[in-house]
Structure 1
Amino acid sequence: MRAALIVDIIRQEEKLIAKALDEKQVPYDIINVGQEPIPFNKGLGRYDVAIIRPVSMYRALYASAVLEAAGVHTINSVDAINICGDKILTYSRLYKHGIPIPDSIIAMSPDAALKAYEQKGFPLIDKPPIGSWGRLVSLVRDNFEGKTIVEHRELMGNSALKVHIVQEYIQYKGRDIRCIVMGKTLLGCYARNIPPNEWRANIALGGYPSKIDVDSKLEETVLKAVGVVGGEFVSIDILEHPTKGYVVNELNDVPEFKGFMVATNINVAEKLVDYIKETYSK
């Protein structure tokens, strides 16, 4: 078996994956799609598995597409990356299958966004369908803030950033829950606790991890959500609603796992390489 590790920026996670591949004696090449072109060429078929790790959603999506065309199994697949990389597509798939999501309204123009604010009521969340690390996710407390956000988003060049997901503000327990799934197995979950002077729990914004116990309902919700989007190695962010219980906020097709490893003491990179060897070794 030979693997390809597809990257654009090499972070701690990619270094850990490369280390695990070395230690477990899996032959591999690192392909940096931020520097090297990848051709539609059957020669790529020398790889049995490609681990898709670009930070850029579109680089991840297109790299996976080219490799899949050459017969390479990609983790994750084109379809999974496409669904997980767009929050509206994610919510659409989850809602269709009866998996709880935050109450959401999709607005595709400034006028529609202001009407959605009125329908939802303040405070509320407004976020675009693409993006990570909490960027452009806004807590809107009144119509004045909302109008400012709408005006600023209209100035952005990417059309997707002008689309608004208007959601209920779920403020409960001061945390969210991040879980990682590999294949059909839940590796574990941990809490991302909201830091002082912030309302978001992202680790990139100062959220701090802590260990939690996983109950059967959380595990059921996570595995069902990952299954309907076709994810093979994904993280999933869960909110705790005071009346609905667990609701799925988003799924990540190129999961970061530094905070997960701190909270759970599970070596995700080693688990990933073990999974690949057990599942795809010829």
Structure 2
Amino acid sequence: MTAPHVGIWMYENGGGKAIEQKLVHALAERGIQSSTGLNLRDARAQGGQILCNGIVMEHLDAFLSYNAGQQTQYQLYLYQALSQSIPTLNNFASFALAEDKFRTSHLLNGHGIATADYRLCHKNDIAGLKAAIRDFGGKLVYKPTDGWGGVGIVKIDGEHALDMLLPFLSRTDLRYFYVERFIDYDNTDYRIDIVDGKCVGCYGRKAPKDDWKTNITSGGSVFVREPNDEVVELAIKATQALGLEIAGVDLIYDREQERYVVLEVNTIPAFATPEQEQLGINFNQNKLDAMVELIERTVVQKRALHSVKVA
């Protein structure tokens, strides 16, 4: 039998290339061959196969898609199609669910996992939006249901601010509005990385002065932060509820309701950059080891299933 073969598409900036090399080396030590750079942007599908950079993707034993910043609708379309033939990490169904902020909050609430209070309204339901801002204490956060890095998120202070924003929103092609109660917190969060049901790393993020968003792309900064049992348990529960193999769970402490809430679940959480490692954020090896274990187990299970079908 030929050696197991996995495909990888890893981000390259922020130390990603070095992480990819370590991943390939660690898999090779376990007898698993890797093909890197499998960006589905360069792929073409025909005759029941997806061909990318000379690789028939359906012949792989697994595919790790780990690049958040360059996802396009074409790539996601092929990612979904590929997931019907081979294991993908994350599995596409859970990936697509977690990429949708409303569906994520809705499902987590159904599992008893605290999130920000939310409201989904039809784009013409202005009364519903105004009721939400009153119900949520006069402050809302409007969020696109997809996207990352804090892009498109707008804080709305009061009905007057909402009235000023509505003409702009009405000219968009949005079918609905997703809003959350603005949470009174200390402008810091926890990022808990989960791989295969285990916590593999944690750090904190802090919003810049005179701002409230902790996202790095919005100007937030990272700092060393030890997790407590409560946030780890919440992060694991959220990841399992969504069915993700790999996740980065963002949590904040709601000072008004005196509880931790899951703010977001990221499907492609970055490793610590070299600069962040210099600050003492040193979970990369632990996370890498867990991902190698996950990939190996996925490959073994896939081959065992194939053997049963052939027999």
Tell me, yes or no, whether TM beats 0.5. Answer: yes
Q: Which residue of 2 aligns with 1:253?
A: 267
Structure-1 residue corresponding to 2:154: 138
Aligned mate of 2:237, from 215, 220, 224: 224
| Residue 168 of structure 1: aligned partner | 181
What is the RMSD of the two structures over their aligned residues, measured on CA atoms? 2.5
Partner of 1:34: 41
Conserved in 1, the CA contact under 8 Å of 2:7 and 2:34? yes
Contact 1:14 1:53 in 2 (8 A): no
- For residue 253 of structure 2, the aligned residue among 230, 240, 253 is 240
Aligned with residue 283 of structure 2, among 258, 266, 270: 266
Counterpart Cα distance in 2 of 1:234 and 1:150: 34
> Is the 1:178–1:189 Cα contact (8 Å) retained in structure 2?
yes
Q: 1:20, 1:273 within 8 Å by CA — same for their partners in 2?
A: no
Counterpart amino acid of 1:27? Q
TM-aligned CA distance change 1:21 to 1:235, over 3 Å: same
Mapped partners of 1:258, 1:41: distance in 2? 35
Q: CA deviation at 1:81?
A: 1.0
Paired residue type of 1:148: M
Inter-CA distance 230–13: structure 2 relative to 1 (3 Å threshold): farther
Aligned amino acid, residue 218 of structure 2: L
**Match of 2:96?**
82
1:66 aligns with 2:69: no
Q: Give the residue type in structure 1 aligned to 2:8.
A: L
Q: 1:240 to 1:59 in 2, by over 3 A?
A: farther
1:15 pairs with one of 17, 37, 52 = 17
How do residues 155-194 of structure 1 correspond to structure 2 at under 5 angstroms?
Answer: 155-157=171-173, 159=174, 162-194=175-207
Offset at 1:65? 1.8
Question: Which ranges of structure 2 fall in alignment gaps of 5 or more residues?
Answer: 51-55, 301-311
Q: Is the 8 A contact 1:54 1:60 kept in 2?
A: no
Q: Provide Cα deviations, 1:111-131, integer angstroms capped at 9, x if missing partner.
A: 132332233232221212111
Q: Show CA shifts across 1:42-73 (max 9, x none).
A: 84332111111243274564333222222x21
Tell me: CA distance 1:6–1:101, structure 2 relative to 1, closer, same or farther (3 Å): same
**Percent of aligned pairs with the same residue?**
20
- 1:248 Cα deviation after fit: 0.7
Unaligned residue ranges in structure 1 (runs of 5+): none
2:62–2:295 Cα contact (<8 Å) kept: no
Return 191-200 or 31-40, whichever deviates more.
Answer: 31-40
Equivalent residues of 2:94, 2:242 under 8 A apart: yes
The structure with the largest alpha-carbon Rg is 2
Aligned residues of 2:200 and 2:290 also touching (Cα < 8 A): no
Quote how far apart the aligned CAs of 1:219 are.
Answer: 1.3
CA distance in 2: counterparts of 1:179 and 1:60, whole angstroms: 27
In the other structure, the counterpart of 1:118 is 134
Give the drift of 1:102: 1.0
The corresponding residue for 1:49 is 62
Is the counterpart of residue 105 in structure 1 residue 119 in structure 2? yes
Residue 275 of structure 1 is matched in structure 2 by 293
| Deviation (angstroms), 1:97 | 0.6
Give yes or no for contact 1:190–1:263 (8 Å, CA) kept in 2: no
Size of the alignment, in residue pairs?
Answer: 277
1-structure distance, mates of 2:177, 2:121: 5
